[in-house]
């Protein structure tokens, strides 16, 4: 249970763990075990190393790496040094990485071995990055994380922390083609910890799976919540269904968060029918909608587990609603719902004038509460547009039923969610327009059994020009991250537009979603 008296900031998490359960295992990664006392001591060393390297409070430090125990040492150390951790999505293309590092003004960059080559290439374009720390060592020109950490004092700096201090900055895709840095604070995380009273009733010594990417708020939060509750976090480098199934049996996993696509892949593993799954008592899922058939199959497979859906955004620190276990009874008709508001969170459904709509009517979902971001980094206009009178406008369209359960109906801002990744059409369209044969293009999300949605490009060719779908897809891969690249391309004579020239995406999407109850998977 979250102890509000002991935890006044995120920097207090490891301090509390070291004080109350120093010898308990805090995390395990590829055979390396770290106790709570060791995790707190290493966090202090990281903090002192950051301070020695000239990081002042509010300085941005970047992380570009896969899952690792070193990430959490770095994270908690940054909390103690009052530095802000910038999560860099390692799936981004090089120009996008450059944008994030420059926009955030990252000073020190922590890099995993898989991304050494890319970072080496982009560093000349990133003038604020004055030091690179090699998380996995092996570089003569960059200090290894272990050496850098171990050379520092283990005295806790005990810097004063304020509720409004930024602690994490994560980037979301932007409608204008540039991602926006979401500023998350101590107060935001304390709110999430309180919200978890309804769905994160984890206990000391329970075993928690941490497998989602650490540039996502869900990946970070599950690890932090595990440590908050005194659990033993099992950290995976990559999302690997084979490894997850094995860990369930060998580590006796109790709690796991997985996006729907990972649940689907896990259910497809040949050994799952004979595996001992009895230790799993809770499966949390979210980040994208889940197919009802997949959810029912998962419930039939993990018979001892309670299922909880979580709905939130990076801008809400991942917190907004939860669908409790009792609502997962198919007879109650709530399986398509994303649940009820978390404690302390207010949710309304409003029309285009901001007025609340009647129960059952569709409108935009707006959220107010303690976990709403401080704002978008250096984007005052975007912040003002997103947060109005304290309400965050999500861009998701939905409705409340008579029991107070929220249902997502569509996306106001045309965002595509594929395998838990947010993709804005404008980013993909900008890349496509660089192709010499393309006169016009629109990007939409279409149903996909594995990923929820897949990116489809609708293309108008210039007169006399020819281009095969494979050629356009290959071209896009040189411009944007792989997960944003269209999976298919259709050709059309002209795109439907309104009088002001805006593409009528709903008309483009309609044929592909025909016969479905809602316009998201």
The DSSP-derived string for 107-146 is -EEEE-GGGHHHHHHHGGG-TT--EEEETT---SSSEEHH
Q: Token match 């390396």: residue? A: 32
Query: Considering just the CA atoms, what is the radius of gyration of the chain in Å?
Result: 23
Which residues partner with 490 through β-bridges? 458
Residue 44, token pair as written in the block: 């202090």
- Give pLDDT, residue 176: 53
Comparing 176-180, 265-269, 291-295, 492-496, the range with the smallest average pLDDT is 176-180
| Stretch 159-169: mean pLDDT | 98
| CATH (residue range 416-513) | 3.30.300.30
| CATH (residue range 8-20+35-161) | 3.40.50.980
Do the two domains 8-20+35-161 and 199-309 of this chain adopt the same fold?
A: yes
- Give pLDDT, residue 13: 98
Q: Is the per-residue pLDDT at 353 higher than 90? A: yes
| Stretch 190-200: mean pLDDT | 95
CA torsion angle for 407, 409, 410, 415 (degrees, to 10)? 20
Q: Is the dihedral of CA 114, 317, 186, 198 positive or negative?
A: negative
Domain 199-309 has CATH 3.40.50.980: yes
- Closest to 60 in 3D by CA, of 155, 130, 5: 130
- Secondary structure of 383-404 in HEC code, one letter for each residue: HHHHEECCEEEEEEEEEECCCC
Q: Token match 């926006």: residue? A: 180
Phi, psi of 448, rounded to the nearest 5 degrees: -145, 125
The region that residue 464 occupies, defined by phi over 0 for left and psi between -120 and 50 for alpha, beta otherwise, is left
For the chain, domain boundaries: 8-20+35-161, 199-309, 312-411, 416-513
Higher-confidence position of 278 and 521: 278
| Stretch 277-303: mean pLDDT | 91
- Give pLDDT, residue 506: 83
Topology adopted by domain 312-411: Luciferase; domain 3 (2.30.38)
Distance (Å, whole) CA 36 – CA 33: 10
Question: According to DSSP H, which parts of 336-424 are helical?
Answer: 380-386
Mean pLDDT value across the chain:
93
270 by Cβ neighbours in 10 Å (0-12 / 13-18 / 19+) ranks as exposed
Q: Characterize the bridge pairing of strands 255-258 and 282-286.
A: parallel
Higher-confidence position of 62 and 496: 62
Q: Is the dihedral of CA 36, 37, 40, 45 positive or negative?
A: negative
């Amino acid at each position: 249970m979250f102890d509000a008296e002991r935890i006044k900031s995120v920097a207090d998490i490891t301090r509390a763990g070291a004080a109350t359960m120093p010898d308990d295992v805090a995390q395990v990664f590829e055979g390396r075990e770290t106790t709570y006392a060791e995790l707190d001591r290493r966090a202090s060393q990281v903090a002192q190393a950051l301070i020695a390297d000239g990081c002042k409070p509010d300085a941005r430090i970047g992380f570009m790496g896969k899952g690792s125990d070193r990430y959490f040492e770095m994270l908690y150390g940054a909390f103690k040094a009052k530095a802000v951790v910038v999560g860099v999505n390692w799936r981004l293309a090089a120009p996008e990485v450059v944008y994030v590092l420059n926009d955030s003004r990252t000073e020190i960059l922590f890099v995993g071995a898989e991304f050494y080559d890319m970072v080496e290439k982009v560093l000349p374009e990133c003038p604020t990055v004055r030091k690179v720390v090699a998380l996995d060592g092996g570089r003569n020109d960059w200090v290894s994380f272990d050496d850098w950490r171990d050379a520092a004092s283990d005295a806790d700096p005990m810097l004063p922390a304020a509720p409004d201090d930024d602690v994490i900055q994560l980037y979301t895709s932007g409608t204008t083609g540039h991602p926006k840095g979401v500023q998350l604070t101590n107060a935001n995380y304390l709110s999430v910890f309180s919200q978890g009273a309804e769905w994160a009733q984890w206990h000391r010594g329970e075993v928690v799976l941490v497998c989602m990417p650490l540039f996502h708020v869900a990946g970070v939060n599950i690890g932090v919540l595990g440590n908050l509750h005194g659990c033993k976090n099992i950290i995976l480098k990559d999302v690997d269904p084979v490894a997850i199934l094995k860990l369930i049996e060998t580590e006796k996993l109790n709690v796991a968060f997985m996006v729907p696509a990972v649940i689907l892949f896990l259910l497809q593993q040949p050994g799952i029918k004979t595996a001992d799954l009895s230790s799993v008592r809770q499966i949390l899922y979210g980040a994208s909608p889940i197919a009802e058939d997949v959810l029912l199959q998962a419930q039939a497979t993990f018979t001892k587990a309670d299922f909880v859906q979580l709905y939130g955004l990076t801008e809400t620190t991942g917190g907004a609603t939860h669908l409790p276990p009792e609502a997962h009874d198919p007879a109650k008709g709530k399986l398509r719902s994303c649940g009820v508001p978390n404690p302390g969170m207010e949710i309304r459904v409003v029309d285009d004038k901001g007025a609340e709509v009647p129960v059952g009517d569709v409108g935009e979902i707006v959220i107010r509460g303690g976990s709403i971001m401080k704002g978008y980094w250096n984007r005052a206009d975007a912040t003002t547009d997103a947060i109005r009178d304290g309400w965050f406008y999500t861009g998701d369209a939905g409705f409340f039923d008579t029991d107070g359960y929220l249902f997502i109906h569509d996306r106001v801002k045309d965002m595509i969610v594929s395998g838990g990744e947010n993709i804005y059409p404008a980013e993909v369209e900008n890349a496509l327009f660089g192709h010499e044969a393309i006169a016009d293009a629109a990007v939409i999300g279409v149903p996909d059994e594995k990923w929820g949605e897949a990116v489809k490009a609708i293309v108008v060719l210039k007169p006399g020009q020819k281009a095969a779908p494979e050629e356009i897809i290959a071209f896009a891969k040189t411009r944007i991250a792989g997960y944003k690249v269209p999976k298919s391309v259709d050709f059309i004579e002209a795109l439907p537009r309104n009088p002001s020239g805006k593409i009528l995406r709903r008309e483009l999407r309609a044929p592909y979603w025909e016969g479905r109850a809602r316009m998201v998977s």
